[in-house]
Structure 1
Amino acid sequence: MSNSYGTTYYSEAYNNREHQQNLKYKNKLKKLKKLIKDIVVENSALCDEVSRMQENLVVVKEERLMLLRRLCQLQGEVDLGTLCAKSQMGSSSSPVANSDTHTPKKSAKKRSSVETPDTKSKPKRSSKISKKVVQLIPLDVNGRPIFPISLGDLTVYSLGDVVTDRIAYHTEDLIFPVGYCSTRVYASLKDVRMKSLYTCKILDGGMKPRFEIVSDTDLDQPLVGSSPDECHLRLLATISPSLSSVFPKGADFFGISHPTIQNLIQSSPGTRKLINYKPQKFEISKSSDITETNPAGEEDPSLGFAALHRHYALPSAFVIKQEPSNHGLISFQELLS
């Protein structure tokens, strides 16, 4: 009996000790799992913070470039590339830049004695041709344009957002920002004698942008196309079959090719990421008139209402009616709805 009692005692003690060890390891395992979970959560939070700071850094860089371009507009400087290059240079490269600026002066003096006046005038002529004249527009305290921007018959209400991940949303010389919206006065679809307000919009159409022209007299039937020229050609053909032979100028009708608007779109964030787009050079107009119009656009029958009636013969009894008063026009909010 004593031997059996001893064996049961030792077996129970061994089982109790093993059970206590298991409980201790279970508690340690729980603590380790909790610690790992806390570390994973903290790591994910740090990763989110890093990605957020990187996005903010990209936005700040884009805003800095936009402010530099605004500064160029105010100071009347033309060569924006040199200013951007100077802004991106570090303090370590400043003495090298100063040394480089002294050496070209000597070489310029030597070249001036050899070059003829004809050779000097050639690059100046080419530079004037490649630059586009932009008009001064009102800006807010942050250097951003104040909407709406009125340019004659063209009024721009929104520049939209530049799309960088789809190649069809830009060409070598034009950018099609999603959300761009403008209005233009032209001949009505129902009566050529009447003026009508057309709303031009660029929408997200997937792989290709969607262009729309909507008349205030026919809001339910927008003229849709995959390019500005296609929309403009449909508008001309709808107004009159005789206008179908007119060469379309959709970018001019939308206003995205206007130098002032094109300069603003080019200054928007994200344009440096565009693959095929070649940045244009702009020159500030010396005229103090902010609402100065483009005479070439007004003389074009495909863009101007008065030019349309001047270039196309109309019956003698055909009288051009005046545009309706402001209270008779549909508000811009109704056009966008």
Structure 2
Amino acid sequence: MANAYENYLKSVNANRNIAERPPGKYREKLNYLKQLIREYVHENAALVDELEEIQTTIIIRKEERKFLLRKLCEYEPQVATEVQNVAKTGFSQSSHLDNKKGKKRANNDSSDRKSKSRKNSRSRKKIVQPIPLDNSGRPIFPIELGNLTIHCLGEVVADRCEFHSEDVIYPVGFISTRMYGSLDDPTVKCIYSCKISEVNGLPKFEIEMDDNSNPIIGDTPDVCHSLLLQKINDALSLNVVSTRPRGNDFFGLSHPTVLNLLQSFPGSRKCVNYKWNKFEVSRSGDVHTEDNDAALSYEYLQRSINFCKYKMAPDILQKPSNDYLDSKDNLHDYLLNN
């Protein structure tokens, strides 16, 4: 009986091995499918690598296009005006079409018109960052707003038009700091202090580097900012950043959180030329708007410096000595070749 049972087990195991082993025809198909899968995996990996290279190239081309357009606008003012006009006309046409669609829908349904007007009014509100307040409701300084830090808001001078414009208010005693490239070496990060004071009944704007005793003083924030950008270019002997100023942004006067705080001052309502804005405090928490402009951000300034060194360095010509230019023949050759 034992021998018969062992023979039975051997026969069962042999039949099982035969059933599990695929025939030669299906084995060839299995090997063929495995080979196809390997080829598709390698092809997919190659396509992914090629796609990454193309995306990197697209980013580089976009940066080059922005850089060339900025340089062209600097040397050709007409091009800058044309670009601005095209942007304005395109925006006005799109807004005009949207208004037509809104009117048609309003004629069909008055309730939709009311809801749409409410949405538009909400969209015009600027989102501000929530800031810490003390028990009396006053802001606690310093106020951190990304690369910008507000140390003092100052006092609003409402009885004189020189201390405000349509977009911003210039409070006396305003102090802010911002991280930016140093005047000695723009590749080194430095802290700049921006201040507003009153001299002879007029506002005075000042940008001062922490380790520099010579502040940049001007009648407007744009004048100070333009001089700062020009000194940055002079320090590198390259036009790494456009000297078109954004003084209000550099000082932090146009930041929505700062505008919201200044509008809460009692005298801000008496600023005749200032256009009132609507604000809404963000419910989600901090609202950080990154300054992607080399004139405001230290990180983007470094990108512009690296890009200019890579693109413009081979084209820089050394200025010949005065002894070389004394000769008329040498001067003629130099002017022809350059």
Same fold (TM over 0.5): yes
Q: CA deviation at 1:293?
A: 2.5
Distance of 2:207 and 2:304 partners within structure 1: 23
Say which of 222, 225, 244 aligns to 1:247: 244
Contact 1:204/1:210 (CA < 8 Å) preserved in 2?
A: yes
Is the aligned partner of 1:174 residue 2:168? Answer: yes
1:191-230 matches, cutoff 5 A: 191-218=185-212, 220-230=213-223
Is the aligned partner of 1:275 residue 2:272? Answer: yes
Distance of 1:301 and 1:243 partners within structure 2: 8
Is the aligned partner of 1:260 residue 2:266? Answer: no
Deviations 1:96-148 (A, max 9, x none): xxxxxxxxxxxxxxxx9962576345424532342111010000000000000
Please tell me the residue identity of whatever aligns with 1:293.
H
Say which of 274, 284, 287 aligns to 1:287: 284
Distance of 2:135 and 2:177 partners within structure 1: 26
Contact 1:300/1:308 (CA < 8 Å) preserved in 2?
A: yes
SS in 2 for 1:141: coil
Partner of residue 237, structure 1: 230
SS in 1 for 2:216: strand
Distance of 2:215 and 2:245 partners within structure 1: 17
- Following TM superposition, the consecutive aligned residue runs of length 4 or more in structure 1 with deviations greater than 4 angstroms are none
Please tell me the residue identity of whatever aligns with 1:294.
T
SS in 1 for 2:266: coil
Please tell me the residue identity of whatever aligns with 2:134.
D
Percent identical residues: 47
Is the aligned partner of 1:304 residue 2:297? Answer: yes
Please tell me the residue identity of whatever aligns with 1:136.
P
Distance of 1:116 and 1:269 partners within structure 2: 39
Distance of 2:293 and 2:249 partners within structure 1: 10
Let me know the Cα RMSD of the aligned residues.
2.1
165-174 or 306-315, which moves further after superposition?
A: 306-315
Contact 2:240/2:304 (CA < 8 Å) preserved in 1?
A: no
Contact 1:236/1:243 (CA < 8 Å) preserved in 2?
A: no
Q: CA deviation at 1:287?
A: 2.0
Q: CA deviation at 1:306?
A: 0.5
Contact 2:181/2:188 (CA < 8 Å) preserved in 1?
A: yes
Q: TM-score, normalised by structure 1?
A: 0.55
Structure 1 unmatched ranges of 5 or more: 1-111, 317-337
Contact 1:233/1:244 (CA < 8 Å) preserved in 2?
A: no
Structure 2 unmatched ranges of 5 or more: 1-105, 311-338
SS in 2 for 1:204: strand
Asked which structure has the greater RCO (Cα within 8 Å, sep 6+), the reply is: 1
Query: 1:314–1:113: structure 2 CA closer, same or farther, 3 Å change rule?
Result: closer
Contact 1:230/1:250 (CA < 8 Å) preserved in 2?
A: yes
Q: CA deviation at 1:258?
A: 0.5
Distance of 1:206 and 1:283 partners within structure 2: 37
SS in 2 for 1:214: strand
Q: TM-score, normalised by structure 2?
A: 0.55
SS in 1 for 2:171: coil
Query: 1:308–1:119: structure 2 CA closer, same or farther, 3 Å change rule?
Result: same
Distance of 2:221 and 2:117 partners within structure 1: 34
Aligned residues: 200
Partner of residue 48, structure 2: none
Query: 1:233–1:113: structure 2 CA closer, same or farther, 3 Å change rule?
Result: closer
Query: 1:144–1:116: structure 2 CA closer, same or farther, 3 Å change rule?
Result: same
SS in 1 for 2:180: strand
Say which of 125, 131, 136 aligns to 1:131: 125
